[in-house]
Amino acid sequence: MLTPGRKFYIITGDVLAFYPSIPIDKCINIVFELYYEQYHEDKTPTMELGLYEAKIFIKCLWTTNQYLILQYEHKMYIQKRGLAMGIVDSPDLANLYGLFFDNTCNIHQHLLVPFYKRFIDDIFGIVYASSEAEAINIMNIVKFNDCVIEWGVSDLFLPFLDMTIYHNVDNRLQHMPYWKVHSHQERIPWISHHPLDVKKRNCNW
């Protein structure tokens, strides 16, 4: 809850080229650490079943994200860096990679940041500050290794995803729909090579 009468700024962050910038080896190691933390209290499992499940999990991560082949203009290439667009687990891996650094910098416990949320590579926050420069300086503790975050800040309004967040006359936060100037509201076409579950998430019915 925002403190009435206290000066605050709306902040948005865009992780530039997030998927291609994520180092696969580092990302998979981070996800495996989070797996141990979630299911084994941050310890190596001692039971045979736990060890077997962990081995299968890490093998699946490496199998689905290493040495990926792509075709461009009738030529075949191996993707050597970054997560591949269209792979089923890429959104989850990217999200967990960001989560690791969100937790590392303790942004959720920052006394001057009453609100912080991230949707994969899009960040939204509210910051108590006396100037735009101070607000961005506070948010700069959020850093994802090998990635660049581009910040936007305003004490009036900012677009975020499909919304415009703004202050009303009572200094309350409100929102309204936002569309980019050249947006055609297109969805992923069914004939694309995206996995079936990705297509279902993006269909209109």
Residue 171 binned pLDDT confidence (cut-offs 50, 70, 90): confident
116-131 residue pLDDT tens: 999 999 999 999 999 9
Is the separation of the CB atoms in 126 and 114 below 8 Å? yes
| Closest to 87 in 3D by CA, of 196, 203, 181 | 196
Q: What's the angle, vertex CA 18, arms to CA 204 and CA 140, rounded to 5? A: 120
pTM of the full structure: 0.81
65-86 residue pLDDT tens: 888 888 888 899 888 889 988 7
| Closest to 103 in 3D by CA, of 95, 114, 93, 112 | 95
- Dihedral sign computed on CA atoms, order 160, 163, 166, 171: negative
Question: Distance (Å, rounded) from C-alpha 118 to C-alpha 12?
Answer: 9
Q: Which residues pair with 176 in a beta bridge?
A: 164
Is the separation of the CB atoms in 2 and 125 below 8 Å? no
- Angle between helix 48-65 and helix 90-104 axes, rounded to 10 deg: 110
Per-domain residue ranges for the chain?
Answer: 8-202
25-53 residue pLDDT tens: 999 999 999 998 888 777 777 778 888 88
Question: Distance (Å, rounded) from C-alpha 174 to C-alpha 171?
Answer: 9
- Is the model more confident about 198 or about 107? 107
Query: Residue 3: is its pLDDT beyond 90?
Result: no
Query: Backbone phi, then psi, for 180, in 5-degree steps?
Result: -65, 150
